[in-house]
């Protein structure tokens, strides 16, 4: 099970950090993906981080604005997105592993002046 932090409202230019706490499995056995969905839109993959060795792959679109981390002591993954814009308004999901077999409930991030 993946449980995410609550909704956020941010101003343009600010940063947001979303957390994703894992339970029910060995955290370091799977990586964590981050996927977002803008209102009424499809799914967009942002990146992936191994919870075992720290390897990271970011989508090129987010390379300069996103940082993904994990805390193995608390089995929690984090995604920080900086320099927020209005088009970053979306629901952000953490998703387990290369099979995308377990999804968090989503965190709504609203970017508004």
Residues at the contact surface with another protein, assessed by CB under 8 A = 33, 35, 42-45, 47-48, 57, 59-61, 93, 98-106
Find the shortest distance in angstroms from Cβ 65 to another protein: 15
Find the shortest distance in angstroms from Cβ 5 to another protein: 14
Strands 16-22 and 76-81: antiparallel
Tokens at residue 5, please?
């932090």
Location of structure tokens 């919870």: 51
Q: What gap in Å lies between CA 25 and CA 74, rounded to an integer?
A: 13
Find the shortest distance in angstroms from Cβ 73 to another protein: 26
Contact 58, 46 (CB under 8 A): yes
Select 7 or 14, whichever has its Cβ closest to another protein.
7
Select 91 or 111, whichever has its Cβ closest to another protein.
91
């Amino acid at each position: 099970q993946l449980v995410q932090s609550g909704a956020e409202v941010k101003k343009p230019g600010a940063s947001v950090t979303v957390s994703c706490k894992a339970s029910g499995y060995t955290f370091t056995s799977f990586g964590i993906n981050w996927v977002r969905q803008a209102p009424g839109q499809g799914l967009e993959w942002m990146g992936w981080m191994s919870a075992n060795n720290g390897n990271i792959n970011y989508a090129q679109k987010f390379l300069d604005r996103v940082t993904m981390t994990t805390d193995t002591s608390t089995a929690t993954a984090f995604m920080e997105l900086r320099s927020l814009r209005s088009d970053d308004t979306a629901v952000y999901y953490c998703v387990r592993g290369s099979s995308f077999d377990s999804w968090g409930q989503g965190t709504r991030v609203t970017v508004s002046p």
